[in-house]
Amino acid sequence: MTLSPTYSPAPSNRSISLERSSTVLEQTVEQAYLRYDSVLTEPLLNRFDPSYPPSKAQVVPSGGRAAAWFIQLLPFEAVLRHFRRGGLMRHFVRDRYIWTGLVHTRSFAEFDLLREMWLAGLPVPRPLGAAVWREGLTYRAAVLTQRISNAQPLALRHEPSVWHEAGRVIAQMHQFGVWHADLNVFNLLVDANDQVWIIDLDRGRRAGLTNVQRAENLSRMLRSIRKVVPERESSCWSSLKQGYQSLANQG
């Protein structure tokens, strides 16, 4: 099976592990609700629009339902993602969700979970901003995260050591109590130093993770391997499980 990279290398080698001392700010602008990291040094609302010229947006060829772009966002390079529906609903409603309060919106919930993980030192991209556009009983949403330099999806890597590290990172996420709603070979990225990063925490949550939920996450990962890179199940899957157990047994 031939795969095309989901994430092309970022042109900058800026470290993603920057100082973790910023605060979260909120603002309402032009009927949009914004939540963002105070490290950002410029007006933000336009940055959620991929057509904004200074962003120099480039489409992320992810193959998923979410519309995503690489953008320039001083002092960072970032990923902008607009939330899109999946399943049968996508045929009727492309990008609208039922309003049940700002804290429950997809973008704010993901921003908050990512920030909690990032502040704890877990390998996730730094959350930079979240936007919500409410119209009556529905809303649209988008999120901004820092781009991970020189990264490619786990699906493109075959080294047992990398898959062992992927298993260890999943176990680290589980020890922190986080359940990933869509754990698969494209939502784990590997950078130039073979560090594994967890991305796309949409619908993820941190609330009393059970053994059943842990097992379900791993089963989802196995299904992803069998669908995308079935030839690697015998070698890479066993390495991932070993990596998972190497940390899980310490917990």
What kind of architecture, by CATH, is found in domain 27-146? Answer: 2-Layer Sandwich (3.30)
In b/e form, how buried is each residue of 184-222, taking b as 16+ CB within 10 angstroms? bbbbbbbbeeebbbbbbbbebeeeebeeebbeebbeebb
Average pLDDT, the chain: 87
Catalytic annotation, pick one of 37, 49, 112, 182: 182
Domain with CATH 3.30.200 in the chain: 27-146
pTM of the model: 0.87
Domain with CATH 1.10.510.10 in the chain: 152-248
- 42 against 242, higher pLDDT: 242
Q: What is the pLDDT of residues 198-223, one digit of tens each?
A: 999 999 999 889 999 999 999 999 99
The neighbouring-strand residues paired with 70 are 58, 79
What gap in Å lies between CA 73 and CA 40, rounded to an integer? 8
CATH superfamily for domain 152-248 = Transferase(Phosphotransferase) domain 1 (1.10.510.10)
Q: What is the pLDDT of residues 165-176, one digit of tens each?
A: 999 999 999 999
pLDDT of 92 strictly over 60: no
Q: What is the mean pLDDT of residues 81-97?
A: 71
Measured in whole angstroms, how far is the alpha carbon of residue 224 from the centre of its chain?
A: 17
- DSSP secondary structure string, 89-147? GGGT-SS-EE-S-GGGSHHHHHHHHHHHHHHTT-S-PPEEEEEEEEETTEEEEEEEEEP
User: Is 182 among the residues known to form the active site?
Assistant: yes
